[in-house]
Structures are given as structure tokens and as C-alpha cells.
Homo-oligomer: A and B are copies of this chain.
Amino acid sequence: MKIAILPGDGIGPEIVTQAVKVLNALGEKFEMETAPVGGAGYEASGHPLPEATLKLAKDADAVLFGAVGDWKYDTLDRPLRPEQAILGLRKNLGLFGNLRPAILYPELAGASTLKPEVVSGLDILIVRELTGDIYFGQPRGVRECPDGPFKGQREGFDTMRYAEGEIRRIAHVAFQAAQKRDKRLTSVDKANVLETFQFWKDIVTDVHKEYPDVALDHMYVDNAAMQLVRAPKKFDVIVTGNMFGDILSDAAAMLTGSIGMLPSASLDANNKGLYEPSHGSAPDIAGKGIANPLATILSAAMMLRYSLNKVEQADRIEAAVKKVLAQGLRTGDIYEEGTTKVGTEEMGNAVVKAL
């Protein structure tokens, strides 16, 4: 089994190193190959997603991704900026199904900005469509405003769109995920304003017929943002489009107060996937050896579970992470008085030991 390792920028390389170490400690044979991506890709070959990196990712059974981005690339033209690599990988690999769990480990309940009773035991899964919507819709650009009171001025514009098949396949992913959990799915839309999301709602409602064991409800995106703050534990699985999913999954992650703990998976139609921590490249702490590697280690566990069919090994990693938390080990981002502060490498070593 071949894994493409794309460490990226900022803290990416440090945290990926720990995840690779954990994978190697499982006693399985993985073929791993590393390639530059993001700012590192740009430095190496003038493009955030070098041809060779894309090819490696395409040929692999799964991709383990660190993080991309650094302020020093802010002045580059948009197509050359690090985050274009992640958009390019999603699109080229057809990774339409993004799974983003927001889980609050009991040991870390204090890290949340929300009251413990509101978030303790939080365990929700956000299923975000990842290759459609206004992220990729054409036409887009800056043009002369064609009509209305601003006619003749310049205007920026984009196209939001979802085709029936695109909605169906992400709905299936979400219903099936709900079946393995508490069997409750909330589809988030803005059907009261957007044609795209009235259509979305209609299609999700239709797909629901195939999953009578799952309870489906529909919620407007503004209300969903409120309910995530008000009573997040009421959700089980949330499914939504690319743009709303971007916003809601980050909000949900932050509810836990420990975004350094949250993995993510981005899957294609055959469960090939890209796995990355939910947090960013944190260039301000890069190279200091203090970043939390657990989100990346847990992303490796998701990779074993979803793409490599090694469920038992995934369980082992997740159990090991729980164990180091129970031992009181914490990186700086989740440190609290009475626990033991450790660095990136120590944390990785502790997980290996706990395996």
C-alpha cells in the first residue's frame, strides 16, 4: 500500500514526521513517498502543486497531508499561493466527500470557550461537499457590471452551482455515516434564498427515501451557526455544501477549543482519500518543536480506517492517543495546570509507546 506524504509548510513537516513515525510503529508494511506541496512546492518548482506531487498523489492509495501556507507567499498571484495546492488536489483527485469530526475529549473539556455542560462529550460529524459549489463554479472573475444601478462599473462575480449527481453522492456519504452513528442527519441549506440550495434540499429529501432508518431534518445555515453555539450536542451528522461547510466545520472545530486534536478525511468515490489535520500551518510556531501532532496522527488513523481498510490499526492509534491524554501529556495549545507540557516529538514518542 502506497501513501503519498505531503508535509507542506509551517508546522506541516514536524507534525507529519510524528504521524509517519506512528504509522511505522504499527508493524505494517507501507510504501511511503514524500513530495513538496504549498509554499514548499512553489520553492521547489515554481508551483504550489508541482506536477510530480500531483502524480504521486494520484498514484498513491492515500495521501497524508500536513498543512500549507505562510505569510511570505501572501503577495504572490492567487494561482501561485499555497492554498491553491489543496484546492487542486481536491479537484484533480475527485475528493468530494470531506469528513470533519468535532470531538471534545473529556480530558480537554476545559480548553473550550464554551461552558463544560454545553460541550462536554461533544461528538458531531460534519460532512462537507468539497469539489463543487461556488469554489469551482464557472463563470467567475472581474467584469463590467452588465445591468442595474451599478451598470458599467467593475464587479467581482462567482457562480454557485450543484448538479443533481453531485448532491446525491454527498448525501449518500452523509446518510451512510449517520447510519453508523446516532442515525440523525441535519442537512444545512439556504433554501429560502438560494436556488442552488432549494435544489439541494429537494435532492437530499429524495435520497432520504433510501435511508428510512435515518432521521433527516433541514436547517438554514444562519440557524445552524446559531445552534452550533447554543446547543451543539443536539447534532449528530451535518451535511452541507462546500462554502457553508467551510464556515460551519471551522466553527464546530473551535467549539472544542482544541483544534489541534481534530483530523479530517477527504474521500473520492472509491474511498481513496487525503487526510489532514483541521488546523492550519501556524507559521508563527513552525520549527519550534511545540506544535500538537495529534490531529495529524488521528488523520493517519482515519486513513487506515477509510482508505487502507486497516480498522484495527486505526483503533489502536485512537486508543493510544486517548491513553497519552489520560496520562496527562499536553502540547502547549491544550496545556492546563496540573498536566505535563510536552513538545511535538515527545508527544509523538508517547503515542508510539502507548500503541
**A residues with CB within 8 A of B:** 78, 81, 83, 87, 113-115, 118, 134-135, 137, 140-142, 145, 148-150, 153-166, 190, 192-200, 221-223, 225-226, 228-231, 243-244, 246-251, 253-255, 257, 259
Contact = CB atoms under 8 A, between A and B. Distances in A.
B250 A158 contact: no
Contacts of A142: 195, 199
Chain A binding surface SS class: helix
Contact of A155 (B192, B199, B226): B199
Q: How many copies are assembled? A: 2
A122 to B, nearest CB: 12
A175 to B, nearest CB: 20
B150 A165 contact: yes
B158 A195 contact: yes
Contacts of A155: 161-164, 166, 199
A193 B166 CA distance: 20
Given A150-B164, A165-B150, A166-B150, A225 B196 contact: no
Contacts of A230: 113, 254, 257
17 contacts: A113-B231, A114-B229, A140-B195, A150-B164, A150-B165, A150-B166, A154-B164, A155-B199, A156-B194, A157-B196, A158-B196, A223-B250, A226-B251, A226-B253, A226-B259, A229-B254, A230-B254
A231 B113 CA distance: 8
A291 B192 CA distance: 25
Contact of A199 (B115, B154, B198): B154
A87 B193 contact: yes
Q: Which 3 A-B pairs have the closest CB atoms?
A: A156-B199, A150-B163, A157-B161
A247 B243 CA distance: 12
A222 B196 contact: no
B156 A161 contact: yes
A192 B158 contact: no
A164 to B, nearest CB: 5
Nearest to A166: B150
A342 B237 CA distance: 38
Nearest to A157: B161
A163 B149 CA distance: 10
B156 A197 contact: yes
A163 B153 contact: yes
A75 to B, nearest CB: 13
Contact of A158 (B81, B113, B163, B194): B194
A288 to B, nearest CB: 21
Nearest to A244: B247
A260 to B, nearest CB: 13
Contacts of A158: 159-161, 194-196
A118 B230 CA distance: 15
A128 to B, nearest CB: 11
